[in-house]
C-alpha cells in the first residue's frame, strides 16, 4: 500500500485517539473525585440494557480483558453502586445488579455532563455528529470481527 493511503488510516486512528482522550478528560472532570469513565460506562450500560449481566458479558460489551472488568466492578461494589448475586444458571458465575445509589450516581453524572454536551452541541451540530455514526459503527464492527481472526 502506498504511503499516502496508509496515512489516511493512521490519521484516522490518531484523530480518534485524541478525541477519546480529550472527551474522557472532560467527562472525568465532571465526575465525583476518583471516578472514571469506565465506572460510569458500566452503570450506564446496566441502566440502559438492564442489569443482571455477568462480568464476562460486560467485559465483552466494552471490549476489555476480564481482569479489567473484575477490577472495575470491585471498585463499583466498594462504592456500593452495584451488588453481586449468584448466577442461578451457572455456579462459576455471578450477576451484577444496580443499587439505588448506582442508579442515582448515573443520573447525577448525566446531569453534570449535560452543560458540557450542550456547549459542544452549539459548536458541532447534532446532525454533523449523527452523520459520522454509520461509518464509525462499520469500522467498530470490522475491528471487532478482525479481533477474533
What is the SS3 assignment for 145?
A: helix
- Contact residue for DNA among 47, 94, 116, 139 (CB under 7 A): 94
Q: Does 70 bind DNA (CB under 7 A)?
A: yes
Whether residue 26 contacts residue 20, with contact meaning beta carbons closer than 8 Å, is answered with no
Residues that bind a second copy (CB under 8 A): 1, 5-6, 8-9, 11-27, 37, 41, 62-64, 110, 114, 116-121, 123-124, 126, 128-133, 135-140, 142-144, 146-147
Binding site for DNA (CB under 7 A): 21, 24-25, 34, 36, 38-39, 54-57, 64-68, 70-75, 87, 90-94
Amino acid at each position: 500500500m502506498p504511503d499516502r493511503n496508509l496515512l489516511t488510516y493512521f490519521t484516522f486512528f490518531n484523530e480518534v485517539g485524541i478525541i477519546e482522550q480529550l472527551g474522557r478528560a472532560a467527562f472525568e472532570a465532571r465526575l465525583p473525585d476518583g471516578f472514571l469513565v469506565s465506572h460510569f460506562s458500566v452503570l450506564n450500560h446496566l441502566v440502559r440494557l438492564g442489569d443482571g449481566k455477568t462480568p464476562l458479558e460486560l467485559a465483552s460489551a466494552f471490549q476489555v480483558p476480564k481482569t479489567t472488568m473484575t477490577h472495575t466492578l470491585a471498585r463499583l461494589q466498594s462504592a456500593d453502586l452495584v451488588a453481586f448475586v449468584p448466577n442461578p444458571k451457572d455456579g462459576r458465575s455471578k450477576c451484577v445488579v444496580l443499587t439505588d445509589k448506582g442508579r442515582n450516581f448515573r443520573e447525577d453524572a448525566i446531569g453534570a455532563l449535560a452543560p458540557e454536551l450542550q456547549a459542544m452541541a452549539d459548536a458541532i451540530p447534532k446532525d454533523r455528529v449523527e452523520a459520522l455514526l454509520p461509518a464509525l459503527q462499520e469500522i467498530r464492527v470490522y475491528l471487532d470481527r478482525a479481533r477474533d481472526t
